[in-house]
Each structure stands twice: as structure tokens, then as C-alpha cells.
Amino acid sequence: MSSSGKNKKRNGNGKKRVAMISVHSDPLAKLGSREAGGQNVYVSELSKHLGRMGWAVDIFTRLTRSRTKKTRKIAKNVTVIYLKGGPRLHIPKENVLEKLPEFLGNFLKYKEENKINYNLIHGHYYDGGWVAMHAKKILRVPMVQTFHSLGHVRLRALQRFEKKEVDVAPFEERLKTEQEIMTSADKIVATNLPEKKDILHYYNFNFEKKIEIIPCGVNFKRFRKINKEKAKEHRNFSKDEKIILYIGRIDGRKGLETIIRALPEVMKEFSKKDENVRFVVVGGKIGKRGDKEDIKEVNRLKEIAKEVGVGENVIFKGKRDQEKLRYYYSAADVFVTAPYYEPFGMTTLETMRCGTPIVASNVGGLPYLIKNRKTGLLFPPGNHKSLSKKIISILKEEKLYEKVASNGEKMVKEEYGWKTIATEIAKLYNELIT
């Protein structure tokens, strides 16, 4: 094959090509670790569905010790490319900013060496947005930005719920960078109306015309309803147990302490019927080679559980493969998410898809997904007394349980499939490049 033929093949035989910049969030990382959550899933699923629609998608993420191959094809038309940006080991995302010039240089080098022309660049989070913003200026192509999390909102949440004074200094560079990204981007994808309102409130009202509300989605093949008894048996839970489930990162802002403090009242209610209550936590690197911060937080939570008398009823499972999560969702009697700050909440959609009712903090994007007593129950963040009442209600009121479970499952099926979401994103891309 001639060199021109090779280049044509690498450039996707005339396909429209997008560069996804997801610096700290590797789409192939195992979920449940400190740096692996909703953004990983979003980038992976969106890219795969765009690939099926004929787009050629290159996902650029930071090279760490865990990766040996520099490129990996993960689906039709979709390739993950690992670029050096600082040492080949884990760096907290808060400290990645200073490594981005090297990452940007390697992105441009990769593009030139492989003779690739991108029609568009899509930045993710503020680190990916920084790279996308500078690449846009150099390559003169349109730029789309999805933040996944906003510095101003996270800072306000920490100031409200942290028990010690919050150091504002680490946020200053992030807030400045986010403002610059919003100014540079051609379009900003907000995953819900509350996020759009936060952007306009904290950053600049002139950005309104740039913002498009396009939500996250759910993989319908991976997440689906399974018979509860079979799911409990699959996960070695007793059919007589009331399973309260949390899936996600082990992080102070996720409100796991609130859930633990709510357990005594729940257990008191069901002990009368000789039914055991267990709070099952899935997520976190907590094994022998675990993450130090995850282990530290789990040990703190275990002490709180002992303090309030529920030590034996709280089970930490660590992170699990995505393919196993539907069994946990389906086995649970209620899913609880209690964050102090949550831009969207993808586990909310996943648990609804599996037909399990949800109780959630009334913060961020969660009330956008959860209509109180229709598709779930909401409670004030940090309020364990209110949470315990909501959990008891959902477990005791059979009609309420069936209604929110059925409504939630129907809503996700009708509105939140990744095919639908990717179609909206592709439409946005085409408006920018035509």
C-alpha cells in the first residue's frame, strides 16, 4: 500500500474525526477508584456510539504506569491514545494542570506524525478543556467542552459541609482556567438545567447562547433488570435481608457518613420484623494494593459505623467490574446516593434502569433526574434523620415502592439511551463544522 493509502486509512477514509481530550480520566480504567467515575463512562460510551454512527474518534488520556501500549482500539472507529504528561504514575487530578503543556505538545506531535486532521476537539473536565482550548487556537478547529464538574459549585459545597475551614487557594487556578475555557469554547455541553444555571451564575451570563443541555446516558445492554431473588443469590445476599446499596467513589463529599448515621433508625424499624438490614458499599481501591486515601476514608467510616452501633451491618466490597454491577443494583431493595455536590449522577440512571428505587440528596443534577415521590425520593444533603425516614418509607410503602421503581425504569428507557444522547452530540458537532 502506498504512503498516501496508509494515511487515508488512518484518517478514517474520509470520516469526520473528533479528538476527545480526557486527561485524568482513562476510559479503560476500572470504575470505583478515586479517578474513575462518571467521566470515564461518559467518554467511553459517547465515543463508542459516535463510532457506530460513522465518526472516527481518538480519545487522548494521560499515560500512567498501568498502561504499556500507547494506543488501543476499543470499538469500531474508536482508539484510546496514551500521551506522556509528567511522570508515568498516578497524579491527583488537582495537580495535573502543570503537566498539561507537555501533554499538549505530545498531542500535536502525535497528530503531525500520523498526518491526522481533526474536524473538531471535545474537551472534558477543566484539564481536558485547557488542552482543547490551546489546541483549538493552534489548529483552528471548533471546540466543544463538557465540564463534568464546576470548581465554583464544588468549592461552595465544601465550604458548606466540611467540618474544617476550606483552603480556597487550590481552587483559584481552576476557576481562572474554567473561565478561559468557557470564553474559548464554541459550545458548552451542560448535562442538565441546574448545571447551565450554575455556569451562568458563577461565570458569565454572556455564555447562554453557547450552552446546550444534553444529558448523560445509560448502556441498556449492560444495565438491565434482573429478578431480585436471583440477583441476591448471585451476590450471596439472603432473600430476607434488606439491602441498602451505594455504588461509586469513596470520597468524603459523597455523603457515605450520612447514610451510615441514618442506619440505626432504619434497623430499629425492621428489627421488629426480624429482618436484617445491610448497607453495601461498592467502590474504592481498598485491597492490599489499595489507594491510601480510599483506605483512610473507609477506616474513618468503619469507626463511625461502630460508634453508632451498625459496624456489622456495613459491608465494603471495593470496586467491581461494570458487568457485575447490574446484579448489585437488582439485588438492592433501595439505592441511596447522598452527595453534598453532584453534577449529574450516572449511578442514578443505572439503578433506575435496573428497576430499583432510589433515595438521593436534593443537590445539583439529582432533582433534575428524580421527581420526588414519582421517580424516587429526595432529602436535604447531610440530614441523616430525614434520610432514615425516606428509606423507611420506600421500604414499607409497597405502592410507593412499585410506583417510583416503575416510573424510573420507564423514564430512563424513553429518554436516556446512549444512542439518543450521541445523536444529539453529533448534531451539535455537525452544526459547528458545516
The answer to whether residues 184 and 241 belong to one domain is: no
In angstroms, rounded to a whole number, what is the distance separating the alpha carbons of residues 377 and 375?
7
- In order of 149, 297, 322, 421, the CA distances from 56 in angstroms are 26, 41, 25, 17
* pLDDT (0 to 100) of residue 36: 62
Asked whether residue 278 falls in the same domain as residue 408, the answer is yes
Cβ–Cβ under 8 Å, residues 294 and 272? no
Evaluate whether residue 425 is within a structural domain. Answer: yes
| 373 & 410 share domain | yes
- The answer to whether residue 259 is domain-embedded is yes
Same domain, 295 and 156: no
Q: pLDDT value at position 2? A: 37
pLDDT at position 239: 86
Distance between CA 151 and CA 94 in Å, rounded? 11
Q: Where are the alpha helices (DSSP H) in 114-164?
A: 125-139, 151-161
> CA 87 → CA 29, 65, 84, 104, distances in Å?
18, 9, 7, 15
Q: Do residues 39 and 144 both lie within one domain?
A: yes
- Number of domains the chain contains: 2
Is residue 286 situated within a structural domain? yes
CA geometry: angle at 41 spanning 360 and 48, to 5°?
A: 140
How many residues can be counted in the chain?
A: 434
What is the CATH number for 321? 3.40.50.2000
Q: Are residues 169 and 294 in the same domain?
A: no
Please indicate, yes or no, whether residues 19 and 102 belong to a single structural domain of this protein. yes
What are residue 185's phi and psi, to 5 degrees? -65, 145
List the grid coordinates of 284: 474504592
Q: What is the mean pLDDT of each run of 10 residues along the chain (434 residues)?
A: 39 80 86 68 96 97 80 95 89 85 97 97 97 98 96 87 77 94 96 93 86 95 94 92 94 93 94 79 86 91 96 93 92 96 89 97 92 95 96 96 96 95 97 93
CA gap 12, 189 in Å, rounded: 26
- Domain-located, residue 307: yes
Q: Has residue 171 been placed in a domain?
A: yes
In a shared domain, residues 282 and 292: yes
Decide if 193 contacts 214 (C-beta within 8 A): no
Place of cell 474536524: 119
Residue of 99, 417, 144, 392 whose CA lies nearest to 268: 392
Its pTM surpasses 0.85: yes
Same domain, 247 and 200: no
Q: What is the separation of C-alpha 41 from the centre of its chain, rounded to a whole number of angstroms?
A: 6
85 in a structural domain: yes
Q: How does strand 17-21 pair with strand 120-124? A: parallel
Do 45 and 184 belong together in one domain?
Answer: yes
**C-alpha angle 319-322-323 in degrees, rounded to nearest 5:** 125
Q: Which positions ≥6 away from 227 have C-beta within 8 Å?
A: 330
pLDDT of residue 272: 63
324 in a domain, yes or no?
yes
Q: How far is CA 92 from CA 24, 25, 127, 181, 208, in A?
A: 8, 11, 12, 21, 32
Instruction: Give the chain's end-to-end CA distance (angstroms, integer).
Output: 32
Q: Are residues 411 and 421 in the same domain?
A: no
Quick check: is 223 in a domain?
Answer: no
pLDDT, residue 357, reads 97
H or E segment and range at residue 14? none
Nearest 5 degrees, angle CA 286-CA 84-CA 52?
Answer: 80
CB 136 within 8 A of CB 184: yes
186 shares a domain with 45: yes
* Longest CA–CA separation in the chain, Å: 78
**Residue indicated by cell numbers 458499599:** 281
**What are the backbone dihedrals phi and psi of residue 412, each rounded to the nearest 5 degrees, phi first?**
-65, -45
Domain hosting residue 114, numbered range: 3-217+417-433
